[in-house]
Homo-oligomer: A and B are copies of this chain.
Amino acid sequence: MTSNADKGLLIVLSGPSGVGKGTVCSMLRTLAPELVYSVSATTRNPRVGETDGVNYFFKSKEQFRSMIEKDELLEYAEYVGQYYGTPRSFVADTIRAGKDIILEIEVQGAMKVKQRFPDGVFIFLMPPSLDELRSRIENRGTETDESIRNRLSVAVDEIRLLEHYDYAVVNDRVESACERIQSIITAEHCKRERIMPYVKSWMEEVR
């Protein structure tokens, strides 16, 4: 029995901005409570109702910078003057305990995680069509034709990153997207490589 068969899966859910990653992940929490959801570290202040270790690991800037220096983050980014990042140990401990963990993350962060965890299951959430993407961008506000074309071009560039992912899930309906993600996780657990060690142990026993 190799340890690989007993390890949990690292599932990375990403996709272009505005595709609905957060909404899908929220519904997934209800539909798939057996999954562990990665908790990010941040330097921003807790909001009312937020709990340390549940919504975020709240850190001082000094603590966060020390985590960066000690390579304790799988990836991190700065946004509006605050740090956000994915603690490596929480992910590693969960997998080692045989539980599947899911990370909902921006495309840039996902590419960093892939460097560290090439064996992860990388799922790209896709808009249902180019027209849908265009109308979402148009409906955001009163923009010029040129700026709409620009934003569409940026979004399509982000979608190009799909080539680094294992799966694409079209977010046509949130429930359907969640079901597809759950199917992917089930299928990944059925992969030959995960079952082969058991078969090898049977062969030893029978010999």
Contacts and interface: CB of A to CB of B under 8 A. Distances in A.
Contact of A187 (B159, B163, B183): B183
A162 interface: yes
Contacts of A123: 190
Contacts of A170: 195
Contacts of A159: 199, 202
Report whether over half of chain A's contact residues are helix, strand or loop; otherwise say mixed.
Answer: helix
A61 to B, nearest CB: 38
Contacts of A187: 167, 180, 183-184, 186-188
A40 B85 CA distance: 56
Interface residues of A, number: 37
B130 A202 contact: yes
Interface string A103-145: 0000000000000000000011010001001000000000000
Interface of A: 123-124, 126, 130, 133, 152-153, 156, 159-160, 162-163, 165-170, 179-180, 182-184, 186-188, 190-192, 194-196, 199, 202-203, 205-206
